Amino acid sequence: MHYGKKTKENEPYWFSPWHKGRPGWHIECSAMAMKYLGESFDIHAGGEDNIFPHHENEIAQSEAATGKPFVKYWLHTRHVLLKGEKMSKSYKRLIYLRDAIKKHGASNLRLFLLSTHYRKQLMYDEELIEEAKVHVDRIKKTVQLLNRFSINGRDEMKEYEKQLIESSKEAMKKFIESMNDDFNTPLAIKVIVDFSRQILSYIEQEGILSKEASRSLLEFFDNTCKIIFGDLYEKEIKVRLNDVIINWIEKLIRERNELRKQGKFEEADKIREEIRKLGIEVEDSKNFTFWYVKNLNIYK
């Protein structure tokens, strides 16, 4: 067990009876974990390569020091594979997280990573990241529309909206069950994606929802997406622009739709391109046009 290491040049050190030294990384982890989480805590995570010797040493030295159980649950993730092999610095088979975030967007990448169960090997695959993006876009659209309809939606609630509210309770139950089942994030994500699809297909026919239903359905997304996306939910998913910008975008969309009615499709497309340049997606259903903020990416 490495309780300590002889110090190398330019490293911080403490005096010991043997040499100038510093704590080894097993003891660093025990010390940090105890400082911030206490002598016993619930969950300790790490990569599969940490199981032995690192985590066994953490347990041995922590429990020897306190006489208490150190950790209740250990979560060991498997490695992300690149082209079928473990990422490796020495073979230059490596993608840095910061580059992947820059390229794909943080919430897209996060959904992709959580789409495989943490105990299963995950393949870094750009095609699968593109699939994750489609899901994230659908969630963004649903959440942002519900958020706007909760303010400017219809006053009365239609029958189907009551059914949707009932479904949201079912979906919430399924989401919790999936997460309680050893963090089955692929299933939990599927619950969110499926339910947002159900809501969107209704909105696309109706054009609008009632304020009350929107508020109630939004709660489902607030509660579940904050778990899946963390802070990114408010930053990238539930984006709400200020009213001046909202009115301006809606005016542009009305102009575009007017041009389309007159058969001036080229000019109409130009307006849509202008709006898209701002990171805002404009989509038409059979009778209505919807927009949502797609790429307001704070990391770019």
Residues in contact with Zn ion by CB under 5 A are: 29
Q: How far is the CB of 72 from Zn ion (least distance, A)?
A: 16
Dist. CA 50–CA 135, nearest whole Å:
33
Q: 46 or 186, CB closer to Zn ion? A: 46
Q: 29 or 122, CB closer to Zn ion? A: 29
Q: How far is the CB of 32 from Zn ion (least distance, A)?
A: 8
Q: How far is the CB of 1 from Zn ion (least distance, A)?
A: 13
Dist. CA 184–CA 176, nearest whole Å:
10
Helix H or strand E segment including 23 = strand 20-23
Q: How far is the CB of 20 from Zn ion (least distance, A)?
A: 24
Q: 71 or 109, CB closer to Zn ion? A: 71
Alpha helices in 153-295 (DSSP H): 159-180, 185-206, 211-229, 232, 243-261, 265-277
Partner residues linked to 75 by β-bridges: 45
Q: 29 or 100, CB closer to Zn ion? A: 29
Q: 29 or 280, CB closer to Zn ion? A: 29
Q: 29 or 200, CB closer to Zn ion? A: 29
**Minimal CB distance residue for Zn ion:** 29
Dist. CA 112–CA 211, nearest whole Å:
32
Q: How far is the CB of 57 from Zn ion (least distance, A)?
A: 9
Provide the token pair at 35.
């400082």
Which residues are CB-contacts of 250 (< 8 A; sequence separation ≥ 6)? 291
Distance of CA 91 to the CA centre of its chain: 30
Q: How far is the CB of 54 from Zn ion (least distance, A)?
A: 5
Q: How far is the CB of 52 from Zn ion (least distance, A)?
A: 12
Query: Which amino acid, residue 240?
Result: R
Q: 59 or 259, CB closer to Zn ion? A: 59
Q: What is the maximum alpha-carbon separation in the chain?
A: 88
DSSP string, 73-136: EEEEEPPEEETTEE-BTTTTB---HHHHHHHH-HHHHHHHHHTS-TTS-EE--HHHHHHHHHHH
Q: How far is the CB of 3 from Zn ion (least distance, A)?
A: 14
DSSP string, 33-74: HHHHH-SSEEEEEEEGGGIIIIIHHHHHHHHHHHSS--EEEE
Dist. CA 60–CA 292, nearest whole Å:
52
